Structure formats: structure tokens, C-alpha cells
Chain A
Amino acid sequence: MAAKRQYGYYIKGNKIAIIERGIGSGVCSLSGYSNQTTCEAAGGTWTENAIGKDDGGWMSPIATVADGLEIQYAYSPDYLIESTDVSTTTVSGWDQDNDGNFRLRASGSTNWTSSPDLSSVSYIVLRNAGRWNGLHKVSSVTNNRIVTATKVSASTSETLFEETVTLYYDVTPFTDESFDINLTRYQSNALVYYLKAKIAEDGGDIEMREFFMREFKRQLEKGVSALKRGPYIVQGFKEMR
């Protein structure tokens, strides 16, 4: 049986701090046993969720949990993956080159100049790459390295990725007006209002800017609320009169 745990988080700078309550994953009556199966096999008694560490205080995670943290987030669609089939999972880890550029390393005997041939690729998108998710501009490709234009301060020795990273290389970045933004028509209308607001702002017409920004937000809200069925129900707190 997996152990019940209690987590919390707070944000500090560009990092998420994960904290765990020291309720413990369980305690064995014999010393030296950290899970129920081995504890009971040795004749001990396993007590689930006992106050295990520091009287149940909050602290850094007590145990290692594979894939334990799941972050759901919104990202800006300033690139388009043309085909999700044009991808490779032959990335093992990353490091930096001597100029502070983020560099990918190939796994095993993979040759990125032949199979798959990435030598003419300009942009890549990474998924399941933890902090490196998203679009990267490619500077150079060798048989087992991809040097990107993304800056990083790290070691020149390889750091392995936790997950199997998917590298998409049929990617179109948003660099000019030929790019098709992956938005609904309603969202595109909102985007036009934003653009008009910014142009008005540059021209010093603040009243016009405020008008278009209001329209931008209204258009977005309308788009979102159109997808929801039924009335909104708002509940006040009990002391409210």
C-alpha cells in the first residue's frame, strides 16, 4: 500500500518550493525497515501515518517520489508544431557549452546528423523536459550535440533528464506575419483589440488605449463564458448580511 502524504507549496522567485508535513509514511516497530512489506516480513508491526518526523511539522519532502510533482500551466502559443509525428526521443541529458548556451546531448550511438537528420533544423520544441520545456533556437548540430541559443549558467557535465524527453523538430516559430496563430476566431478578435490599444498607447492616446484594452478583456471574457453552461452561483461567507 502506498503511503498517504500531505504536501503544500509556495513560490519563491522562479522556483516552486514543495513542503511536506512530517506525518511520516509509517513507522516500523523494528528499526531499519522503511516499508510495510519488509517490516511485516521481519515480524514487525507497521503503523501507518504515525507522527514520524519533527512532531508533524512542515519541512522539505521526506521521501523521493518518482513523478511525484505535477504542474499544470498555461503557455504562450508563439510557435506551431507542424507535425507531432516528426519527433525524436533520443535525448539523454543537457549541459552548457563554453559560451553559456543550453546544449542537448544524444543518448547512446544516436547521430543527429543522419538519423534523425537535424542538421538543417532551426528551431526545436521540448516536452517532458522539466524546466527546459518549450521553444529553443538551434545554433548548431553535431552528431551527438545540439547547441541552442538559450542561455544557461550550469555545468559542462551532463545532467540527465528525469523523463523521456520528446524533441519536436518540425516547428514554425512566430517571427513574421506569415505565421498562423493557433487561436479561435474570437480570441483573434481580442488580439486585434490589444494591438490597437498598444498602437494607441504609442501614439499617446490614452483614452483610446483604455477603450481598446477594455474591449480586449471583454472579448476574452465573452469567449470563455460562452463555453460555460448554466448560471453562475456565488456564495457569500456566513457572516455576510
Chain B
Amino acid sequence: MERAGTTQTGRAVAYIKDALDEMNILSETHINTERIDITADQRFYEIPKDCVKILDIRCKHHNNDDSKYRSIPRSIYEPLIVDEDGS
């Protein structure tokens, strides 16, 4: 705060939190990995609450039969076959 030349703590804290978000979007400083069960016929899965930027999405068995996790590609279009429960 002294280096930035401000004495307003509340404002500085808010801006520093913005800066931490911005830094993690540009070049990630802190990362975490979360595993979620894939459920048959369930298409949509919640993104973790503290996620600022998704770095990789991997699935078990993707293009391998050794139960390994591999990065999956992003689909540009939604598939013609809609989700069963429509959620």
C-alpha cells in the first residue's frame, strides 16, 4: 500500500483481490485439480466456485484403455443429440 501511495485500506484490498484474479487469468499463480464423477446421461457439471481460469479438462479412458486421464478437445458446436434431462 505504501508503494502504491494509498492509505485507503478497503479500496486497496478490493483492488489487490482484482489484481490476484487478473494475474491468475494472465499467468496462473495457484492451481488446483478437482475430480468429479461422470454420470451416465448427465451432461452438465458445475465448475468449482473458486475457479478463475480453466487450464485443462481431462477424462478417464479418453482415447486409451489404460484408465489414464487425457485432455479432451473442446467442441465448437453443441451436438445434435440434446441432453436427456435438458438441464
A interface residues (Cβ-Cβ under 8 A, vs B): 1-12, 14-19, 48, 54, 57-78, 127-128, 130-135, 150, 162-163, 174-177, 181-183, 187, 190-192, 194-196, 198-199, 216-217, 220-221, 223-224
The 9 A-B pairs at the shortest CB distance, nearest first, are namely A134-B50, A68-B38, A131-B46, A74-B28, A58-B79, A195-B4, A194-B19, A60-B43, A59-B81
Sampled A-B contacts (20; CB under 8 Å):
A11-B54, A16-B47, A18-B38, A64-B39, A67-B60, A68-B37, A69-B36, A69-B57, A70-B33, A70-B59, A71-B47, A72-B32, A73-B33, A74-B52, A75-B48, A76-B21, A134-B49, A174-B16, A177-B1, A194-B22
Complex CA distance for A9 and B26, rounded to whole angstroms: 23
**Residue from B50, B59, B76, B79 in contact with A69 in the complex, judged by beta carbons closer than 8 Å:** B59
Main secondary structure of the interface of A (DSSP, over half): mixed
CB within 8 Å: A-B pair count: 270
| Chain A residues within 8 Å of B31, by CB | 72-75
**Chain B residues numbered 1-29 whose CB sits less than 8 Å from any CB in chain A:** 1, 3-6, 9, 12-13, 15-29
**Residue from A3, A19, A64, A76 in contact with B40 in the complex, judged by beta carbons closer than 8 Å:** A64
Number of B residues, CB within 8 Å of A:
73
How does the 8 Å CB contact mask read for B46-87 relative to A, with 1 for contact and 0 for none?
111111111111111111111101001111101111011000
Minimum CB distance partner of A58 in chain B: B79
Known: A73-B51, A73-B53. A9 touches B36 (CB 8 A): no
